[in-house]
């Protein structure tokens, strides 16, 4: 079966973005950079594509021009083990970007991320429907997700 590789379209920031992403995620690196030649359509010698991986997941970033931009219709979810991981990824990826609701953010390149603690899935699928709904209400009022506050809300029967 062929491997599916997300391809991220940038105007001119593919190399800068790839370097940033591999600095944020462990076990990551850039494997190849290709350049436009004389055939264009961008100036010869400028970066065409950057192939990189984030913790083993391959990506390609292309300098395709300003015609297309990112929006929230596509995002990358980071499944975090605990609050420390949530805090780390939220801080790194939101720097220069835009914080959003419910664990969503846009990084400085406009790419959307969901920074999600494992506890959220557990709470939202709790067999006690009322407990799950209390956690959901709490999550809807948050920007960066707070594991302790989610648990406190789920357990609050007042």
Q: Do 51 and 111 have their domain in common?
A: no
Q: What is the CATH number of the domain that holds 155?
A: 3.10.180.10
Query: Pick from 22, 52, 67: which residue ends a domain?
Result: 67
C-alpha to C-alpha distance for 59 and 70, rounded to whole angstroms: 15
**Which residue carries 């990551």 as its tokens?**
28
Chain-centre distance of CA 71, in angstroms? 12
Going by pLDDT thresholds of 50, 70 and 90, the confidence category of residue 31 is: very high
pLDDT (tens digit per residue) in 102-144: 999 999 999 999 999 999 999 999 999 999 999 999 999 999 9
Domains in the chain: how many in total?
A: 2
- Residue range 10-21: average pLDDT? 98
Residue 2: which pLDDT band, with cuts at 50, 70 and 90?
A: confident
For 107, the domain range is 70-158
Q: Are 120 and 149 in contact (CB under 8 A)?
A: no
Q: Residue 33 contacts by C-beta under 8 Å, 6 or more apart in sequence?
A: 15, 47, 49, 50, 51
Q: Quick one: pLDDT at residue 158?
A: 52
pLDDT in tens, 17-28: 999 999 999 999
State whether 46 and 104 are in the same domain.
no
Check whether 157 has a pLDDT greater than 80.
no
């Amino acid at each position: 079966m062929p491997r599916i590789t997300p391809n991220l379209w940038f105007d001119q920031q593919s190399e800068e973005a790839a370097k940033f992403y591999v600095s944020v995620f462990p076990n990551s690196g850039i494997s190849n950079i290709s350049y436009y030649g004389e055939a264009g359509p961008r100036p010869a010698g400028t970066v065409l594509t950057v192939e990189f991986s984030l913790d083993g997941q391959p990506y390609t970033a292309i300098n395709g021009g300003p015609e297309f931009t990112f929006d929230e219709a596509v995002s990358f979810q980071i499944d975090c083990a605990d609050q420390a991981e949530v805090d780390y990824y939220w801080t790194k990826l939101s720097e220069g970007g835009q914080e959003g609701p419910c664990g969503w953010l846009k990084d400085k390149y406009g790419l959307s991320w969901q920074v999600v603690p494992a506890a959220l899935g557990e709470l939202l699928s709790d067999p006690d429907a009322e407990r799950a709904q209390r956690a959901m209400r709490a999550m809807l009022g948050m920007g960066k997700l707070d594991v302790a506050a989610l648990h406190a809300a789920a357990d609050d029967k007042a």
